[in-house]
Amino acid sequence: MKLKRVALVAAAAVAGPTVLMSSPAMADDKQPAVVVPDAAPKEDNAAPDTGSESATPAAPAAEKPAVQPPAKPEAKPEAKTESKPAPKAEPKAGTPDKEEFDSSNEGFLMGPEIEVQGIPKAGFKPGGDWTRLTVQVDNTGHIAVPNFTPSLAVMQWDDKFKAKHVKVERLVKDASGNSVWTPVQAMRAEQYGPALVYSLGTTASVAKNQVYGVDVRIRFTADVPVELFELSADGISRNGGKVNHSPTSWHETRIVGAKGDTQGPTIVEGPKLTVNGVPENIVAGDNAWTNLSVRVDNTGKQALKRYDAGLVIARPDWVPLKTSQVTVEVYSTDKQGRKGWHKAEIRNENDGFFLGVDLAGGPVPAGKSFEVKIRVKFSAKAKPGDLVFRAFGFAEGDPEGDTWVESRSKGVLSKLLPAGSNTGNNGGGNGTGNGNNGGGGTDTDTPTPAPTPTPAPTPAPNDPAPQGGNNGELAATGADPATSWALGGAGVAVALGVALVAGTGRRRRTTA
């Protein structure tokens, strides 16, 4: 499958129903993984070890957006096969929920992102010992979330797994402060489909940028059907009478001996991306440029003939932005071969809650790192509130399209202030958007001016110096790949990038 074809599928998914490529990190790189938003709002159980909210992926109604804000809970994103309505009240532990569904108080969160780590490469042995897993709750680049309950689900789509086949325990503190393994009861209910759902306890508040793990262990009985299945993880936040749902990650695995394989191209982890220079506050205003950069770190990885990078500007407060209210320029080469600041194309992918920016593309040398310089400004008409900046990238891994490369950075939070606000930090800031598997990447210095290139089709009064090692240049060649990258080029892959960053799609992850 060619990247262009994948991107076309992605574009359709952002605009309507389908399941796409996306990228939660896996502890075992040989495991496929999926990320989608919760399509079926569901309920959790207040008891930490017995009940659960649904982590079952369910298909939304056709022709609905893939991501919806809390204000529009009735629009359900697609995941797999059937559309399930939202439960009205909390189900009792271990019993089906018989209540009528009511989605009037349901909504969605952009984070935390939840993933399952430690899935064994070969799958799970029937009758085997306990397998230790970690359900990681990662709120990096996301706003604070109250009363958050993560959950784990075991999904066998032919409904061959029963509660008796699966044992799950969670590590908790007892009254004496000792860590003890406590059984977690499976939840079965109509709105969950064939999933066995396990609630993993409620945290009173997940702070912005907080990361924590829930220690879980799982085993399968000797008589478990030998089948392919999925482990999924998601969570809900309760705030008053409102229930908001985090994105869901799906990890495809199997009982050892199961026949069959997953579908789709092989995914290779691409260069690590980091968004640098994001200040704590950004002031709206037609002349207020904010200098940023995207670091492309290809250390330990092979060369890529063509790698397309993009940026997503998201509104976690669900306050929409118009493309006319945002301007992004990237220091690159235009179609006439002129180096300088060039205006990037911005696409409104989800009613202004996610803006996809087509930055630039070009070759990435093996083992090298460099910076893509960008600058952004918001018009005075842009509504103030929370912002998240994330970078993404794609490349074809082989001419046949059977392998392809993808990357996404961690999110970096900022606050958009009304025009006229005085913070003095629009020139660059304290970005820490570490890509793919974590790692360093901070910048606390305001970029220094650099000479304006000649010819330059757009004036560059705020031309920031490259941030990071080697001053943004390649020691081996003395050339800066980013400045030779062609403006844009990702095209419809921007939609795929938004899906990747927003957690609205499907992917296989097989190699680091």
pLDDT at 330 over 90: yes
Q: What are phi and psi of 268, to 5 degrees?
A: -115, 135
> What pLDDT does 294 receive?
95
In the structure, what pLDDT confidence band is assigned to residue 482 with cuts at 50, 70 and 90? low
pLDDT at 32 over 80: no
> What pLDDT does 242 receive?
87
Average pLDDT on 237-246 reads 90
> What stretch of H or E contains 407?
strand 403-408
Sign of torsion, CA 151 506 348 293?
positive
Residue 85 DSSP one-character state: P
> What stretch of H or E contains 481?
helix 481-484
**Distance between CA atoms of 392 and 496, rounded to whole angstroms?**
9
> What pLDDT does 349 receive?
75
> What pLDDT does 487 receive?
72
For residue range 361-401, list pLDDT tens digits in order: 889 999 999 999 999 999 999 999 999 999 999 888 777 76
In the structure, what pLDDT confidence band is assigned to residue 493 with cuts at 50, 70 and 90? low
Packing angle, helices 3-15 and 493-502, rounded to 10? 60
Q: How far is C-alpha 152 from the chain's CA centre?
A: 18
Place of tokens 């508040």: 205
Lowest mean pLDDT among 134-143, 348-357, 364-373: 348-357
In the structure, what pLDDT confidence band is assigned to residue 458 with cuts at 50, 70 and 90? very low
3-state secondary structure of 404: strand
For residue range 277-297, list pLDDT tens digits in order: 999 999 998 687 999 999 999
Average pLDDT on 235-247 reads 90
Percent of the chain surpassing pLDDT 70: 62
Lowest mean pLDDT among 226-230, 245-249, 503-507: 503-507
> What pLDDT does 152 receive?
97
- Residue 231 CB-half CA count within 13 A: 27
Q: What domains sit in the chain, N to C, each tagged with a CATH number?
A: 103-264 (2.60.40.3670), 272-417 (2.60.40.1510)
> What pLDDT does 464 receive?
42
- When comparing pLDDT for 257 and 92, which is higher? 257
Residue 77 DSSP one-character state: P
**Distance between CA atoms of 454 and 2, rounded to whole angstroms?**
37
Written as six digits, the tokens of 49 are: 């070890």
**Distance between CA atoms of 48 and 40, rounded to whole angstroms?**
21
> What stretch of H or E contains 31?
none
3-state secondary structure of 498: helix
pLDDT at 215 over 60: yes
Average pLDDT on 160-181 reads 96
> What pLDDT does 399 receive?
72
Percent of the chain surpassing pLDDT 90: 47
Place of tokens 């399509």: 39
Who's near 367: CB < 8 A, 6+ residues apart?
298, 299, 300, 301
pLDDT at 137 over 60: yes
> What pLDDT does 446 receive?
35
> What pLDDT does 153 receive?
97
- When comparing pLDDT for 334 and 465, which is higher? 334
CB 159 within 8 A of CB 192: no
Written as six digits, the tokens of 6 are: 């994948």
- When comparing pLDDT for 395 and 462, which is higher? 395
Lowest mean pLDDT among 188-202, 339-353, 427-441: 427-441
> What pLDDT does 462 receive?
42
pLDDT at 112 over 70: yes
In the structure, what pLDDT confidence band is assigned to residue 190 with cuts at 50, 70 and 90? confident
In the structure, what pLDDT confidence band is assigned to residue 6 with cuts at 50, 70 and 90? very low
pLDDT at 211 over 90: yes
**Distance between CA atoms of 196 and 55, rounded to whole angstroms?**
9
> What pLDDT does 488 receive?
65
> What pLDDT does 103 receive?
54
- When comparing pLDDT for 128 and 71, which is higher? 128
> What stretch of H or E contains 483?
helix 481-484
Mean pLDDT taken over the chain = 73
For residue range 405-454, list pLDDT tens digits in order: 889 999 999 999 998 887 655 554 444 443 333 333 333 333 333 333 33
> What stretch of H or E contains 4?
helix 3-15
